[in-house]
Copies of this chain bind each other. A is one copy, B any other.
Amino acid sequence: MSIKVTMKDIAREAGVSIATVSHVINGTKHISENKRKLITNVIEKYNYVPDTRAKSLRNAVTKTAGLVVSVFPDSYVTGIVNGIGKRARELDYHLLFINTNEDYDYEKESIKLLSSNIVDGIILTPSEMNLGYIQKYMKKGLPIIQAIRYDPNIPRLPRVTADDFQAGYDATKHLLQHGHRKIGVIISRTNITPTIERIEGYKAALTEYNIPFDEGLIESGFATEKNALIATKKLLNREKEITALFVLSDLMTIGAMQAITELSLKCPDDIALIGFGDFAGAAITNPPITNVSLSAETIGRTAFDVLLNKINNPGYDKHIQIPTSLMIRKSCGC
């Protein structure tokens, strides 16, 4: 395809050996000022760049990390990917980014590709709690960590997540303190750890107030605003005594708010609302939305550091939880 200039060509034109060129490029040996200048000039002239494949084939390091993300791209994930990218750059790594779009088979394919020695390690947001297939890669010694979500059944696989239990607990408690007793919950996917743990937090708060957990107050839809709109309408039509809503995902918060409006209800007077994640504009909706704030960039940066730990120390297997905070605005009735 491209017209290729190799180290051999540079060496020939400069009248030196291939090894000398390599040493000049990498500074691995002292080369006289004369030759060095001569060689760098030729390199400049041809705008020569060493072949990364050959390089990493030879020295077994790629300086590239794989990033496989499974999530519908809401601003939370964007923020995390950004944090990972920034940290990677700081440490002179490159990222091979793949978005699996919640497709389990594509996820498996992607891990297979990345396992073919083109990356030093992988950060994975699993699409399912079904990571059995990953064990064979772990056995091969491929450094992998989980971010955002994880499969609790796989031991020794590090995790970086938000403190989802605490987040669910805090938000629910806030609504309880406002006097709400029937709190509806809108979730995206049921079978992923953030959802599960946030609901655990929700239950824990209810328990403190001696309120029994009611399965019927939970309604789900997949990720999008539209699905949240549908789910919220369904829930509010079914459970008339609900006075507050807790929405577990960014984009869905918007859909829930739309549903409230379309049902001619007022937020927070008829229905209070707490959302999750910091989507741009939470502050200028009508009313401004109170939400659980997740430090996306911090999660991303931490994930990258954890991957590096895993690479350098194969035994590393911690679960790091990043704290969340409640951004109080108007939709909760404060």
* Residues of A participating in the B interface, judged by any CB pair closer than 8 Å: 1-5, 47, 49-54, 56-57, 60-61, 73-75, 78, 82, 85-86, 89, 94-99, 101, 106, 112-113, 115-118, 120, 136-137, 139-143, 225, 250-251, 254, 257-258, 261, 279-281, 283-286, 311
Pick the most buried of A60, A75, A118, A139: most chain B CB atoms within 10 A of its CB: A118
A43 → B minimal CB distance (Å): 12
Residues of B within 8 A of A280 (CB): 74-75, 225, 250-251, 254, 279-281
Which of A53, A142, A281 has the most chain B CB within a 10 Å cutoff?
Answer: A281
* A96 cross-chain contacts in B, Cβ below 8 A: 94-97
Interchain CB contact under 8 A, A284 and B257: yes
A49 touches B286 (CB 8 A): no
Q: Which of B3, B73, B116, B118 contacts A141 (CB 8 A)?
A: B3
Q: Can you list the 3 inter-chain pairs with the closest CB atoms, starting with the nearest?
A: A286-B286, A97-B97, A53-B53
Which residues in B have their C-beta under 8 angstroms from that of A139? 3
By the criterion CB–CB under 8 Å, are B279 and A258 in contact?
Answer: no
Pair A53/B50 contact, Cβ less than 8 Å? no
> With contacts A54-B57, A85-B101 known, what are 19 further pairs, Cβ within 8 A?
A2-B142, A3-B139, A49-B115, A50-B116, A51-B116, A51-B117, A53-B54, A53-B116, A57-B57, A94-B98, A95-B98, A96-B97, A97-B97, A225-B280, A257-B284, A261-B284, A279-B280, A279-B281, A286-B286
A78, closest chain B residue (CB):
B73
Q: CB distance B1 to A143 under 8 Å?
A: yes
Looking at the assembled complex, report how far the CB atom of A2 sits from the nearest CB atom of chain B, in whole angstroms: 4
The contact of A2 among B5, B54, B141, B257, by CB within 8 Å, is B141
Docked Cα-Cα span, A279 to B279, in Å, equals 10
A3 → B minimal CB distance (Å):
5
Q: Which of B89, B99, B137 has a CB less than 8 Å from the CB of A47?
A: B137
| Closest residue on chain B to residue A77 by CB atoms | B78
Q: Please, how many angstroms separate the alpha-carbon atoms of A117 and B113 in the complex?
A: 18
Asked if A284 contacts B311 (CB within 8 A), the reply is no
Interface pair A286/B283, CB less than 8 Å apart: no
Give, as a whole number of angstroms, the nearest-CB distance from A178 to chain B. 22
Residues of B within 8 A of A57 (CB): 51, 53-54, 57
Known: A47-B137, A73-B78. A113 touches B311 (CB 8 A): no
A112–B96 Cα gap in the complex (Å)? 16
Q: Tell me the nearest residue of chain B to A253, going by C-beta.
A: B281
Q: Smallest distance from the beta carbon of A16 to chain B beta carbons, Å?
A: 21
A113 to B88, CA, bound (A): 15
B140 touches A2 (CB 8 A): yes
In angstroms, how far is the closest chain B Cβ from the Cβ of A289? 9
Question: Chain B contacts of A118 at CB under 8 A?
Answer: 52-53
Q: Which B residues lie within 8 Å of A140 (CB)?
A: 2-3, 5, 47
Assuming the contacts A95-B97, A140-B47, A254-B281, asked whether A52 and B117 have C-beta atoms less than 8 A apart, the reply is yes
Provide a sorted-by-A list of 15 A–B residue pairs whose CB atoms are within 8 angstroms: A5-B140, A51-B117, A52-B116, A53-B54, A53-B56, A53-B117, A54-B57, A74-B280, A75-B75, A85-B101, A94-B98, A95-B98, A97-B97, A257-B284, A258-B283
